[in-house]
């Protein structure tokens, strides 16, 4: 029992990470490792976020296609590079803290999305997050990332 607790404690000390949100805090699809997008449950996922402190505002949502910009050699090395492609979805004036995508997205495809607060003609910046993972002797970080998800195969 003591050995298991020691191993668990050492593992937790050597592996830690955090996300820092800028703007509206996103809930779902779950924010995780940006190199491995969260799986959406349908081709019309429900996007969800925490309410803004600006209670009289509404929300805007945007979705962009994800594109891969790596060569075959990069892919073989596990160094797939991803980027934000063209905008495929935009809605504004959303009153709730969730939104079901109205048109089906492409199956088995990566997407990037964000949400912002709108008060009349004034809009906040699009939500982003910073990612940091410490793993013993090294770390991985990303800054000013948009939220990603991958649609199911069908």
**pLDDT band at residue 25 using 50, 70 and 90 as cut-offs:** confident
Specify the CATH number for the domain of residue 40. 2.60.40.10
Q: Which residues contact 38 (CB under 8 A, 6 or more apart)?
A: 29, 30, 31, 32, 148, 149, 150
Whole-structure pTM value: 0.77
pLDDT of residue 19 exceeding 90: no
**The pLDDT value given to residue 68:** 73
pLDDT at 39: 92
For the stretch 82-133, pLDDT in tens is 778 899 999 999 999 999 999 999 999 999 999 999 998 899 999 988 766 6
The whole-chain average pLDDT of the chain stands at: 81
Number of domains within the chain: 1
Mean pLDDT value across residues 71-89: 72
Domain hosting 48: range is: 2-150
């Amino acid at each position: 029992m003591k050995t298991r607790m020691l191993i668990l404690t050492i593992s937790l000390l050597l592996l830690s990470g955090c996300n820092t949100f800028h703007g509206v805090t996103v809930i779902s699809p779950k924010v995780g490792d940006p190199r491995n997008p969260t799986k959406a449950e349908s081709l019309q996922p429900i996007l969800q976020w925490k309410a803004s402190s600006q209670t009289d505002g509404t929300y805007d949502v945007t979705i962009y296609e994800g594109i891969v910009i790596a060569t075959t050699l990069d892919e073989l090395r596990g160094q797939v590079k991803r980027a934000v492609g063209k905008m495929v979805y935009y809605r504004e004036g959303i009153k709730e803290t969730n939104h079901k995508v109205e048109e089906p997205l492409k199956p088995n495809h990566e997407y990037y999305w964000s949400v912002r607060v709108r008060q009349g003609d004034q809009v906040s910046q699009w939500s982003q997050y910073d990612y940091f993972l410490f793993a013993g002797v090294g770390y991985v970080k990303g800054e000013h990332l948009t939220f990603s998800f991958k649609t199911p195969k069908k």
